[in-house]
A and B are shown apart, each in its own frame.
Chain A
């Protein structure tokens, strides 16, 4: 019950098919439900049979949280809900809900229609799945049920990407999804408050990298394009339709605006246009500049960027074209590439990583002659540039996030094992935190302290506040509340003694302990008492000691000296059971005198 268990089904020491099971305080939560783009068999989906060997997962999972719309974070969702069977709540942000189905549908088409995959979810499945989604906005605290609470924070990675804070009882976990700590042209930086969760589950894609300023790369990118169009060349930028594409568009758009350039910029239509509409709508999710200026002009209402038509390929003169897919393996971008590659005035800029085997990978490695099917050769004379625009936090960013939210433990996912290892040692060394990096299917059990909430009566608190406010604050001084712990049904309550007695209908009894000592001290009893007072004054410095005739009282402890016949004096020490410690301490002192 008290331990928090985390089991990655995907993304454990790995990138792709993020799916992490979290169980805490009797609740089971699935964080992301992604697919692996590298596999075509059953390995592309997380192993859901781990949750329930053969049947719907309804009884085992309380809610599913999707951090953003990338397919390695949401790709398996329709399969999980419709094929495997899950009908509980699914949470995501508004932009994610808007854009995810477009991507899912696109992927489904590619998988089913192009590759002929049969064991796949259908269009209807996606629709049905999306109906189950509940949307959340940033910083909105959502109660999934009476015990489970979630809250989204801005993550910056793509439009609508969020980090989630999940709380059950007094335990909480933050799941970051993918995030970016440096702002870019269209999104801001990730932000979280000091929520001090028990565990921070963080991505660690760039665990061993500290990145250079983004400005250099942007400047290079713009300079290269500008030079190319100045000499009348055509620029091809193969991009994936969502995310980076919008960033680059904004970058070019502002540059065109700033430099007052007239060269046309085109955007391969299709998916992108639809997505751009969503970008226009979710302005609140973008960065400061776009948010502040959208009243005058929505930055995504591109003035210079127009939709592309295939007939434009052979147009004379300079132009810039964004076309998908990003790795030049098929589609429009490859088509354009074939046409433009033989001219040395032209340029292609690869803004991201390319998988081995794709045309993009080949040209990046400097291959000058590329063979296509049907013995078709293309001479690559155009200049080939690589420009990485990545939206993940680097090592410094990850550390910064840890510093921001001050977790008790850190758990790394979504990265390579070797790189994680480095970051893990760093976190342990610099923050003195425990850090975990479970592999897929490996359960990580994290112990957490037991917190038992106790309600305190207002009167007690106020009294204490009054007392402590009398003195200037001092962090070293203990602040003590004196009361009775009353247990009612399930909850517990700290009450004033008298109050508790009254409520319980019990008369208050006090127990006093009394002890008698004999002291050998000649002289009148008052003298002895005075001696004792002096002694106690030296030994008990901070306590007020009252002295009348023969009685010394310290708090509830009473010391009485009685004279008997000879030099023997009888000393009564009596104390309340609440002051047991003080009483016995004084008794010890007195005893030491006797000896």
Chain B
């Protein structure tokens, strides 16, 4: 829910203490606003009361009388209060005043209420800059001018004709202005003006590719009229602006203004350079202007000899062939690079980086580029850190734009890694990384030892060192970069996980090595002895390098960092590096497992996901598995499911591992029954990948004794884990209660059976081991959970022949049915066919798992068609007299149902192709037409909004059809024709023309079968719908309920809502926060919803009552016209398309203890 700023606050002062009561408007579901009222003080919090009407004076008096007055008199019995209010209309109404008169002495309203604070409203006239320009001329002080300029930049909108004069006026003002801040603002405005103009004429595709363009373009009308005419003009204008800016800068002395001027030039320059392909000609114009200007500029201002020498070089260049694009710009930099202010220098370097020509492959171009690069490099030694940083950044930009950096600079850049300032270190780090990636094989000689190493290794070591940096940002950057250095030698890589432990000068094994050793020596139980981690051999004091150990332990350090940003970046880096390096993956495993114990859940999840990714390289040992399984007990569903995925993907070392794993999973299932599905999936995968190991374990798992029959466990044993899982197994068990009970009774967990059966597919010998009841279980499970239990060749074939789903057949069947409908000889036959196939398809969608989406879609489509036909046939809807009678409500209900079904077709299915969608749209159009006719003819409510909506939909459908090149159905075609002739858009005439069309319309065949269609659905895992144990909470407060659900094939997540239906027939919708939706990593169509639902008892009931929670797609936002006219009703809201059956939650409010 989004809370809009409170509309009204009142403060009541009972002698020195403040009580604040507050009415707030809650914007819920974008459209509907809800008014709420509450009071709070230091002592007490009153409940939040929702007001189901608009704030009126009557209601206000009620609140004052029923809520405020008792509240005040209980809290402050002797108190004498003043009410301070804000003069809102309802506070000053007569009845309110009367009430205060009546209760004089209890609550007193001040005689002269304080005035409401008024903010100066913004100028909104015209919205064009032209208006402001006029104001600018009139303003007297600099401050005023600045205000106006700020407003101008806020509403950057103007007519093309004005542009020239606007720029001119701005320039004039610039020259008169004494205040540097105002001049700066003018320059920035000039920059953004040209950006606005320059970007607009482009085609939408190109403008999308320019992320820097933030401003909203002018209203549509404007854009359309200008689109053709303005195109060349506006870009032509830009050189003029450039010209102006350069001109203005000439006499400027303030560093700030110059810096802004250069950055404006940069924005314009970027604009021009990115447009080179499209507007070659314009650019060359711009270039010429620039050339002329800059020469003038440089000659007149500079007398520095080195600039003139540069000038000569470029002069010759320009003379030869127009100069390379924007070489001229560099002059600005040479001029201004010599400025003493760091800001100016930074801007210049940025400009150089962004605009230096690199595209031309001609030798002089490249030579200039290299020379400039060198020059920029020199600024890496500047005494101002910001300039140093800008210089490195410019080098980086140039590198990205294609100027190759020279490996020679490596040493210099490395020196910058020790800079005092983190901004410099960051940029230098990026450069080191780039150099490492570009010249991996170059040889670097280490300064002290004369040893030669590859450049990439050295760079890797340097970046590793940055993991010890003082600044967190640098550490994060270093960790991120480390992950991408895949070319590093294994020797260096492996060091990152080795800290070279020692204790009192003796070499020490890390806990990981210890456990490995214990493992291999067969002595597996540690921790019992005091000091079993005693250090072993002595370390030679000289051989220990504490500091300059390069990459040594970099990741260990990063994983232990104080900041989660660093830790998660490190986990990510370790994962990335492990992907290509199996050996490193094995080493990293222990460290990643350690991260399961991190204090931040995101980091834990990340570690688990990383482990899943690298699982193909590793084989888990028992000790490692033990730690991993420990994390299974985690309370967070995400962590547990992540672990299930991880376990499913990994490779276990021995059969003991498998045993441990199965035990842990079963235990876990006992504790968290919600994890049923993901545990079974995990066990299925485990069984498939570890078939041989499972074979050894079958006797233990299934409790088979080699010689004896084991006694049957007690059937009614409630502690049996299977019972828990079987209760939830689904409705399947109802069909065969006997068998279900038998499995329960055996105490044999479904989980284990899933594992064993999955393994048996790979390892048929296992089947011989199964006892008779196991085989029975097999056939039962195979029937209920075909996706988890594979087909086995059971000997003796005691199992019933099973229905094997045959995908091709279903699709063909569907095709056949639809084809038959399409080529039905007559309307009557078609109708009959449709009736028959609707039933068939609906049933098939339930029993066939291959293409349920397509089946459901077709069935629903047919159903809607038939419903429509029924409605049209009885003609009731067009006769007002008939509607007034009993049938009226039936008709209304049917029409609403029809509309809902159309909306379902449109919004609850994904993967619709153009044909499907157009068919759905046309069907909806028909339904809307019917609705409109009904409203106009059969009821007295206003149809204006509905008609408007209908026309919009017609427009939309027409556009859609023409865009996708499909032919409209006869009804739609006729509709377009009729409405095209229609001039008046009032409901009456529209209905007049619709009526004959509707009467003449026929059934249209459903679209061809499209197997890509998937239907959206949701399963609520939590709350579980168990109403036996009510949730107790204090009355007047809210209670949080965990909502855990899995959504499949969700269309637009923004339309997803949770609906809570209260026993008093009220329904509340709430939006889902985007961060509560977690897409499933291995299947993007599945989305996991984890959220806390806030429920209250609304102060209307006091007993334990059930509340229904369901998920749905809310279409009221997109189909606004419909909702507005037809309204929405609590429980049977036609505009909320349900995704799942509601789940019951039992709430039991407890009494508030009075007199705390």
Contacts and interface: CB of A to CB of B under 8 A. Distances in A.
Contacts of A470: 304, 306, 338
Interface in A84-101: none
Contacts of A220: 511, 527
Contacts of B591: 213
Interface stretch (B188-196, B544-552, B953-961): B544-552
A223 B340 contact: no
A258 B638 CA distance: 12
Interface in B554-596: 556, 559-564, 591, 594-595
B126 to A, nearest CB: 46
Interface in B414-457: 420
Contacts of B512: 216
B633 interface: yes
Contacts of A209: 502-504
Contacts of A183: 560-562
A403 B469 CA distance: 10
Nearest to A470: B338
Contacts of A364: 530-531
B597 interface: yes
B1071 to A, nearest CB: 22
A288 B511 CA distance: 27
A208 interface: yes
A404 B474 CA distance: 14
Contacts of A211: 499, 501, 503
Given A258-B636, A469-B339, A473-B381, A213 B560 contact: yes
Interface residues of B, number: 59
Interface stretch (A188-196, A517-525, A545-553): A188-196
B594 A473 contact: no
B382 interface: yes
A422 B635 contact: no
A422 to B, nearest CB: 6
B420 A194 contact: yes
Contacts of B544: 426
A430 B545 contact: yes
A466 B501 contact: no
A215 B375 CA distance: 49
A108 interface: no
A542 B624 CA distance: 71
A430 B304 contact: no
A215 B378 contact: no
Interface size, A (range): 35 or more
Interface stretch (A27-35, A382-390, A529-537, A585-593): A382-390
Given A385-B527, A469-B340, A215 B541 contact: no
Contacts of A214: 560
Nearest to A422: B541
A561 interface: no
A183 B375 CA distance: 43
Interface string A195-211: 00000000000001111
A465 interface: yes
A226 B304 CA distance: 77
A218 B468 contact: no
Contacts of A289: 564, 599-600
A304 interface: no
B501 A426 contact: no
A453 interface: no
A21 B505 CA distance: 30
A43 B382 CA distance: 57
Nearest to A544: B305
A260 interface: yes
B560 A182 contact: yes
Given A215-B595, A220-B511, A289-B599, A425 B501 contact: no
Contact of B547 (A215, A383, A399): A399
A475 interface: yes
Nearest to B564: A288
Interface in B516-532: 527-531
A254 B304 CA distance: 68
A419 B502 CA distance: 12
B377 to A, nearest CB: 9
Interface string A371-398: 0000000000001111000000001100
Contacts of B633: 226, 259-260
Contact of A193 (B339, B383, B470): B470
Given A213-B510, A213-B560, A215-B560, A475 B381 contact: yes
B780 interface: no
B1078 to A, nearest CB: 18
Contacts of A219: 594, 597, 627, 630
Contacts of B504: 208-209, 419
B938 to A, nearest CB: 55
B379 interface: yes
Indicate the member of A208, A216, A220 with the most B CB atoms within 10 Å.
Answer: A216
Contacts of A210: 499-503, 508, 546
B340 A466 contact: yes
Q: Which of B553, B595, B627, B633 has the most CB of A within 10 A?
A: B633
Contacts of A222: 597
Nearest to A430: B547
Nearest to B553: A396
A430 B546 contact: yes
Contacts of A469: 338-340
B502 A472 contact: no
B634 interface: yes
Nearest to B341: A469
Interface in A265-302: 287-289
Given A215-B594, A258-B634, A289-B564, A366 B530 contact: yes
Interface string A394-414: 011001100110000000000
A109 interface: no
A296 to B, nearest CB: 13
B508 A212 contact: yes
Contacts of A419: 504-505
A424 to B, nearest CB: 11
B511 A217 contact: yes
A257 B375 CA distance: 58
Interface string A146-185: 0000000000000000000000000000000000001101
A364 B510 CA distance: 21
Contact of A213 (B381, B559, B627): B559
Nearest to B497: A213
Interface in A417-432: 419, 422, 425-426, 430-431
A306 B853 CA distance: 55
Interface string A53-87: 00000000000000000000000000000000000
Contacts of B527: 220, 224, 385
A474 interface: yes
A486 to B, nearest CB: 25
Contacts of B340: 462, 465-466, 469
Given A212-B508, A223-B627, A399-B546, A474 B499 contact: no
Interface in B628-647: 630, 633-636
Interface string B604-640: 0000000000000000000000110010011110000
Interface in B268-317: 304, 306
A312 B1121 CA distance: 68
A383 B511 contact: no
B611 to A, nearest CB: 15
Interface in A425-450: 425-426, 430-431
Contacts of B561: 183, 189
17 contacts: A185-B599, A191-B470, A208-B502, A209-B503, A210-B500, A210-B501, A210-B502, A212-B501, A213-B560, A216-B510, A224-B527, A259-B633, A288-B563, A399-B546, A422-B505, A471-B338, A473-B379
User: Can you list the 5 inter-chain pairs with the closest CB atoms, starting with the nearest?
Assistant: A183-B562, A472-B378, A216-B511, A215-B594, A260-B635
Given A258-B636, A364-B530, A364-B531, 8 more contacts: A210-B500, A257-B635, A366-B529, A366-B530, A386-B530, A400-B547, A431-B547, A472-B379
